[in-house]
A = this chain, B = another copy of it.
Amino acid sequence: MEINLKSLREQVYEYLKEQINKQNLKGGDYIDINALSNLLKISKTPLRDALLQLEMYGFVTIKPRKGILINKLSVDDVKYFYEIIGALECAIIQQLCLYIDSQLIEKLKVYNDVMQKALDESNFDLYYKNNLNFHNSYLNLSKNHYALKIIENLRQRLYDFPKKAHYLPEWEKRSTTEHDSFIELLEKDCFKAAVFMKDVHWSFSVQEKFIMEYYFRQ
């Protein structure tokens, strides 16, 4: 019982993410647990624990006698994840409305500026990092670590595991204009800003065209 599961889960997670991004593996593929054990030099019991964690969070399915199935992300998955993230971000922001100050607004503006510049330079990694910073700068004001953990896991499901064949500058551009609107609302009416996050930024139907293009276009 003395294994550091977190780092093992992360190790296995990072390996699978890398293989998917290199397109050596994709959703729907099976991996052999023995081969993985040899490859990562992790003995089978702790590897199994790490995989059970990944299974519980929905990344893989452990199939008896078949190996580890890397789950595909379906359109419904994306829809349901958007619904959950939107609802939780909205609730968290509303709880924080008394604590929104000019310092936070300033931070949000800086992150969003960097995101816009990163897009101009086609630097997607920088864009993505600052997108996380943007959302985290208010989310992390909340002490609801249970909600934050749910959001973090769903973000990983949305952004880390699917094969990213291309990215959509048009979508990312629109994201930053939505961030602008969010900041403006936050300055005037925090409750409306919270609802905007749910009903626009994290709305599956509003973002559907881009989601279909980004995740499901062959």
Contacts from A to B (Cβ < 8 Å):
1-2, 5, 33, 45, 48-49, 52-53, 56, 58, 62, 64-65, 76-77, 79-81, 83-84, 86-88, 90-92, 95, 143-147, 150, 154, 198
Contact = CB atoms under 8 A, between A and B. Distances in A.
B80 A1 contact: no
Contact of A87 (B33, B62, B76, B90): B90
16 contacts: A1-B33, A1-B48, A1-B62, A1-B65, A45-B45, A58-B146, A80-B145, A80-B146, A83-B144, A83-B147, A84-B91, A84-B144, A84-B147, A87-B88, A87-B91, A146-B154
A81 B91 CA distance: 12
A95 to B, nearest CB: 7
Contacts of A65: 1-2
Nearest to A148: B80
Contacts of A150: 84, 150
B1 A64 contact: yes
Closest 6 A/B residue pairs (Cβ): A87-B91, A2-B64, A87-B87, A80-B144, A80-B146, A1-B64
